[in-house]
């Protein structure tokens, strides 16, 4: 196809003259075309460059995604650990503190350290997903740290209480001090020598002369001696429990004041000294104020209900004491 030709009317010659492009016009058109090509190419490159990244940028993005995935896994483990710690705290509150008669930890104490200024504002400079993940993980770590510190302090307290409880249990006069039948119980009885009714402040255990007498709980010998009523006697302190035990009418004392004794340790031999009508052991339990208590109330935990009932019946069967 032939190129288009353009003409113009020449008034001087009164004729049409063909328009022929000069070299300068050709150059101008070429430059305009190049500018358009470069402009369009620049726009295309800019658009593509916004979507593509360098290998280094791609590697960094992959590394960041791996770190975010690892952080998410760690957050899940923190959740599991928090659940276990909450179970432990629940046992602490409902079981251990109840058994050891400790004050419960209030919710105000458990929430200590929560609130105040935003401690995680520094994460806001990252992208929203990353900032959210970092904030949640840090909050969980801080909460676990507070809970662990509180639970650690709680267990130290409970351990101290348990140790004291063990000492208290060991010192409780929970056994009969001699192996023999209880022939006279606690309460109003006819005195066999004075022939008057008076309070019998302990129990009488019938024993052959010289039978072993044992400490019914750990303690410290407070006093040993002799008087007209008890004859040869021993008083043992059980300080953690607040009780004292007394052993009367002994034939021989095997301990001295200030000596520590353990449950089941032999401390004397039974006898018939003092106001007594026959060989036996008179045994008393007193509180901090020196008030007499029924010794049989203390031996119940070491006996079956049937055995304890039989013991009570035997003690109440007699209306006269041996001392």
pLDDT at 247: 97
Within 10 Å of residue 317's Cβ, how many Cβ atoms?
A: 11
Task: For residue range 45-55, list pLDDT tens digits in order.
Answer: 555 555 556 77
Give ∠ CA 283-285-286 in degrees, rounded to 5. Answer: 140
Query: Looking at residue 251, what is its pLDDT?
Result: 96
- List of residues 6+ apart from 303 with CB closer than 8 A: 311
- What is the distance in angstroms between the CA of the first residue and the CA of the last residue of the chain? 150
What tokens does 296 get? 């049989």
| Cα distance between residue 141 and residue 145, in whole Å | 6
Strand partners, 281: 205
Measured distance CA(186)–CA(315) in Å, rounded: 8
Domain chopping of the chain, boundaries: 7-51, 66-171, 182-317
Q: Report domain 182-317's class.
A: mainly beta
**What whole-number distance in Å separates Cα of residue 56 and Cα of residue 68?**
18
Residue 6: per-residue pLDDT: 62
pLDDT number for residue 144: 80
Per-10-residue mean pLDDT, the chain, length 323: 60 66 60 67 58 69 74 78 74 66 67 63 76 80 79 77 84 92 81 72 92 96 94 96 96 97 96 90 94 89 71 67 63
- For the record, the structure tokens of 140 come out as 């969980």
pLDDT tens-digit readout, 165-217: 888 889 999 899 999 988 888 877 777 666 667 778 899 999 999 999 999 99
């Amino acid at each position: 196809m032939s190129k288009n030709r353009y003409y113009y009317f020449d008034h001087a010659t009164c004729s049409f003259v063909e328009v022929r492009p000069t070299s300068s016009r050709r150059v101008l058109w070429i430059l305009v075309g190049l500018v358009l090509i470069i402009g369009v190419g620049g726009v295309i490159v800019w658009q593509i460059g916004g979507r593509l990244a360098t290998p280094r940028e791609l590697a960094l993005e992959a590394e960041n995604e791996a770190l975010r995935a690892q952080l998410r896994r760690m957050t899940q483990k923190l959740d599991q650990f928090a659940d276990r710690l909450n179970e432990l705290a629940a046992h602490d509150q409902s079981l251990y503190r109840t058994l050891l008669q400790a004050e419960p930890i209030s919710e105000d104490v458990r929430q200590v350290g929560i609130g105040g200024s935003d401690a995680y504002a520094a994460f806001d400079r990252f992208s929203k997903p990353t900032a959210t993940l970092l904030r949640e993980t840090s909050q969980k770590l801080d909460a676990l740290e507070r809970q662990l510190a509180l639970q650690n302090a709680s267990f130290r307290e409970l351990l101290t209480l348990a140790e004291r409880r063990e000492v208290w249990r060991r010192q409780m006069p929970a056994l009969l001090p001699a192996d023999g039948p209880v022939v006279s119980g606690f309460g109003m009885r006819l005195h066999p020598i004075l022939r008057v009714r008076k309070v019998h402040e302990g129990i009488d255990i019938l024993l052959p002369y010289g039978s072993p007498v044992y400490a019914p709980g750990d303690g410290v010998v407070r006093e040993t001696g002799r008087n007209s009523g008890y004859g040869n006697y021993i008083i043992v302190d059980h300080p953690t429990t607040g009780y004292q035990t007394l052993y009367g009418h002994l034939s021989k004392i095997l301990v001295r004041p200030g000596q520590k004794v353990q449950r089941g340790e032999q401390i004397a031999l039974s006898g018939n000294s003092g106001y007594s009508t026959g060989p036996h052991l008179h045994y008393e339990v007193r509180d901090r104020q020196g008030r007499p208590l029924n010794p049989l109330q203390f031996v119940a935990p070491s006996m079956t209900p049937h055995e304890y009932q039989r013991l009570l019946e035997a003690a109440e069967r007699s209306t006269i004491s041996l001392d």
